[in-house]
């Protein structure tokens, strides 16, 4: 008899992708196999996101499209999980509206999936959206990549930025025990992994063993495992301590890149967002980082059109983009999320103004980078090769420098997963072109 096949589709952030790896781990342990596509699958799982409305709408559309597959194969089990399903009202709505969805479950009961599948195979429909704050250790993980991967160090968020739904769906901050994190990283080193990203909604407030191990200390412990590269995300500016900057500067394995969401350049908007820093606090951090960590590149997240944002506030955002000089900015239109304070604020900004500001911001950010990559010409650095573009006549290997810059250079598939020393010979706006330096 052929094995039961599963298909997982992930929406949203790296945390969700990583949860999907745990779901895959549990399913493989049950003896199931990954399907090549939805159409071959016996179980389809959508792992959803609810950070912005756009992601939600996509899920509703895609779940609607499952009806046809269920009609063709009545045995098919459809499951929807993730952040969106941790919102009880939304989960109930989806469960009611789509009778061909067999299982709906939130982020806090990932480990119950095998039981829920057993129930569904007996013909029952299951919905589980309870809150839960304990950390589930020891779930099997099927990692998508063989040399670069993520390790969760903490769950949840206590910051309650007024626009953000995450604290409501991911719960309070809980830090994993450092021993469990180190054991996981040691296992990865043994398996040949070269780069890990330490994941959490706000990694700088990591608080292991009830305060004994803070994030800088954890970085030292992780580096001691011998892993080649350490990245982390996401960092909140309010918790970016001098001790962390010092750790970034002194630990070789820690990459010289930080993702540090600024969200806005207007002090008035930052305060309404409950971000707990001012634009000058942020710029001070940028300059401390640049002074201490050689060659660091900074990336960010920015929201435009937060309630009451005026042209002047938006102009302050453009000014901070210019002053901070971000290597990349992930930019979003403010999207009201039911249950968050900002959704109820007066002064919601019309859609056309939000789109216009987003366009202006994106063009402005791109203009600050023009010719900015030229400074890399003639420098050399290590690239961890992620893939190979075979479309051009001469195959191009590509991967990132420690500072997160993407580099292309002539090379084939055999280099994937290897660290290659590359000299940069030319620069584009969003990437660098190099050539391998043979030892
Ligand atoms: N609307 C728009 N963007 C949002 N983000 C979080 N919540 C919202 C929202 N309601 C953005 C922030 C955050 C990133 C992950 O998503 O910029 O840093
Ligand atoms: Fe959301 Fe703010 Fe927490 Fe980030 S720090 S997850 S934006 S509440």
- The pLDDT assigned to 56 comes to 81
- Output the CA angle 180-186-188, nearest 5 degrees: 105
Q: Which two tokens stand for residue 125?
A: 């429909």
Ligand 2 neighbours, Cβ below 6 Å, are: 157, 159-161, 164, 166-167, 201-202, 236
Distance 202 CA to ligand 2 centre (A): 7
Return the H-helix or E-strand segment holding 330: strand 328-333
pLDDT 10s digits, 2-34? 789 999 999 988 889 999 999 999 999 999 999
The rounded distance, in Å, linking the Cα atoms of 103 and 76 is 11
CB of residue 306 inside a 6 A radius of ligand 1: no
Residues with Cβ within 8 Å of 93's Cβ and at least 6 positions away in sequence, in order, are none
Ligand 1: atom nearest CA of 261 is 18
Which residue positions in the chain have pLDDT lower than 70? 1
Atom of ligand 2 nearest to the CA of 236: 5
Query: What is the structure's pLDDT at 1?
Result: 61
DSSP per position, 184-249: HHHHHHHTT--EEEEE-TTGGG-EEGGGTEEHHHHHHHHHTTT-SEEEEE---GGG--HHHHHHHH
Per-residue pLDDT at 371: 82
Phi, psi of 290 (to 5 degrees): -65, -35
CATH 3.30.1360.120, domain 148-373, yes or no: no
What's the predicted TM-score (pTM) here? 0.94
Cβ(332)–Cβ(317) below 8 Å:
no
Output the CA 158–ligand 2 centroid distance in Å.
Answer: 8
Confirm or reject: Cβ of 83 under 6 Å from ligand 1: no
| Among protein residues, the one whose CA lies closest to atom 18 of ligand 1 | 301
Our answer on whether the CB atom of 51 is closer than 6 Å to any ligand 1 atom is yes
Nearest ligand (C-alpha, residue 51): 1
Domain 5-128 -> CATH class = alpha beta
C-alpha to C-alpha distance for 84 and 97, rounded to whole angstroms: 15
Q: Which of 49, 51, 166, 342 to mutate to test the pocket of ligand 2 (most atoms within 8 A of CB)?
A: 166
Domain boundaries, given as residue ranges, for the chain:
5-128, 148-373, 380-436
- Say which CATH topology domain 380-436 has: OB fold (Dihydrolipoamide Acetyltransferase, E2P) (2.40.50)
Contacts of 175-179 with CB under 8 Å at 24 or more apart are: 175/206, 175/207, 175/208, 176/135, 176/137, 176/152, 176/208, 177/208, 177/209, 178/208, 178/209, 178/213, 178/218, 178/221
Write the residue with the smallest CA distance to atom 5 of ligand 2. 159
Distance 201 CA to ligand 2 centre (A): 6
């Amino acid at each position: 008899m052929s094995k039961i096949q599963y298909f997982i589709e992930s929406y949203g952030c790296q945390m969700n992708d990583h949860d999907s790896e745990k779901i895959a781990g549990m399913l493989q342990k049950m003896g199931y196999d990954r399907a090549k596509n939805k159409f071959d699958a016996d179980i389809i799982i959508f792992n959803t996101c609810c950070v912005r409305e756009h992601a939600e709408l996509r899920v509703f559309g895609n779940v609607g499209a499952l009806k046809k597959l269920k009609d063709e194969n009545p045995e098919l089990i459809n499951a929807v999980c993730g952040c969106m399903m941790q919102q009880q009202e939304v989960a109930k709505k989806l469960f009611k509206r789509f009778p061909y969805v067999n299982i709906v479950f939130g982020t806090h009961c990932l480990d119950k999936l095998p039981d829920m599948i057993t129930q569904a195979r007996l013909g029952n429909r299951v919905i589980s959206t309870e809150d839960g704050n304990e950390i589930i250790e020891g779930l099997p993980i099927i990692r998508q990549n063989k040399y670069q991967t993520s390790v969760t160090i903490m769950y949840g968020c206590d910051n309650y930025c007024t626009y953000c739904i995450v604290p409501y769906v991911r719960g309070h901050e809980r830090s994993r025990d450092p021993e469990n994190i180190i054991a996981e990283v040691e296992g990865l080193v043994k398996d040949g992994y070269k780069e890990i990203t330490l994941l959490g909604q706000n990694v700088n407030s990591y608080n292991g063993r009830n305060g004994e191990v803070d994030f800088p200390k954890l970085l030292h412990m992780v580096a001691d495992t011998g892993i080649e590269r350490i990245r982390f995300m996401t960092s909140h500016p309010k918790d970016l301590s001098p001790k962390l900057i010092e750790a970034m500067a002194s630990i070789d394995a820690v990459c010289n890149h930080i993702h540090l969401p600024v969200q806005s350049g207007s002090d008035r908007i930052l305060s309404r967002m409950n971000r707990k820093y001012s634009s000058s606090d942020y710029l001070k951090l940028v300059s401390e980082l640049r002074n201490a960590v050689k060659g660091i590149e900074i990336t960010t997240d920015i929201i435009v059109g937060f309630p009451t944002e005026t042209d002047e506030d938006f102009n302050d955002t453009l000014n901070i983009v210019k002053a901070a000089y971000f290597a990349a900015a992930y930019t979003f239109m403010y999207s009201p999320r039911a249950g968050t304070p900002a959704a109820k604020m007066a002064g919601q900004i019309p859609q056309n103004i939000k789109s216009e500001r987003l366009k202006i911001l994106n063009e402005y950010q791109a203009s600050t980078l023009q010719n900015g990559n030229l400074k890399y010409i003639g420098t050399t650095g290590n690239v961890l090769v992620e893939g190979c573009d075979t479309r051009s006549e001469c195959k191009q290997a590509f991967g990132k420098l420690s500072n997160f810059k993407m580099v292309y250079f002539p090379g084939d598939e055999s280099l994937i997963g290897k660290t290659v020393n590359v000299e940069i010979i030319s620069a584009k706006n969003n990437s660098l072109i190099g050539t391998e330096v043979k030892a």
